[in-house]
Amino acid sequence: MHRSAPRLTRILACAAVPVMLVATGCSSDDAPEASASPSAPAAGGASAAPASSAPPAPSVTPAKYAKLPDACKAVTAKTVEDLVPEVKKKAGTPGKSSDLNARGNCSWNGLEDNGVKGSDYRWLDVSFLRFDSDQTLGGGEKRAQDKYVAKVAEVKATEGAIDLRTSSAPGVGNEARAISYSLKKTGETFRYGVIVARAENVVVTVSYNGTGYAGAKAPAAGELMEGTVKAVKDAIAAVTAANK
């Protein structure tokens, strides 16, 4: 079979060029043409669908109370006088706190000497814990509820407590628990009345205790609890007043 002149000329020309060029420009007419490779997407072309973002965390309700009262002024002077006769320091003794807007406490004590009838000793203590709302930790009220439950359990677990009794304390804050018990200390029986209460995002704990020396009787549990109720109502009212 004879090839045409143009075709023969082309074959001779390709024989004279380097091998690398033969592969590109001098392929035989009989060889199939290479198919075009698929092109990559243009830089400005459609992009893949964006990954779905996580839904935003639900916001927490702001805490109701932003401040705490001065713990040593939270119980009125009249209440202190009634509960702690012959009080040593009427202004109270404040506890240490690194943040008085989050926690605070104050205490009063006194010994009333009744001569041959003996002496009566009383101690009153009030403490506050305030919880802010936090996106990570939760709402202030819920955090206070958790602390309230834990505090009640802590008081009920007082080491050495005897004759322990608990009851609700209606009319005190949003919720409150009254706990009474006795402790033997320095050869005497000390009686305790404790109320743990929650007012919104604040937990209030009031402890009132006493004993009798030199023949005087220890105070009755009911008497102590009446005084505790009076003091805790003062303290909760002080929280409300501090946030007006």
Q: Of 204, 208, 202, whose CA–CA distance to 228 is shortest?
A: 208
Residue 49: its pLDDT value, please? Answer: 52
Per-residue pLDDT of the chain (244 residues; tens, 9 = 90+): 444 444 434 443 444 444 433 334 444 444 444 444 444 444 444 445 555 566 666 688 999 999 999 999 999 999 999 999 999 999 999 999 999 999 999 999 999 998 888 999 999 999 999 999 999 999 999 999 999 999 999 999 999 999 999 999 999 999 999 999 999 988 899 999 999 999 999 999 999 999 999 889 999 999 999 999 999 999 999 999 999 9
The predicted pLDDT at position 114 comes to: 87
pTM of the predicted model as reported, rounded to 2 decimal places: 0.76
Which structural domains are found in the chain, ordered by start? 1-28 (no CATH), 71-242 (3.40.1000)
- Contact (CB, 8 A) for 94 and 105: yes
| Confidence at residue 187, expressed as pLDDT on a 0 to 100 scale | 86
pLDDT for the residue numbered 174:
97
Q: What is the pLDDT of residue 234?
A: 98
CB contact burial 164-182 (16+ within 10 A = b; e otherwise): eeeeebeebbebbbbbbbb
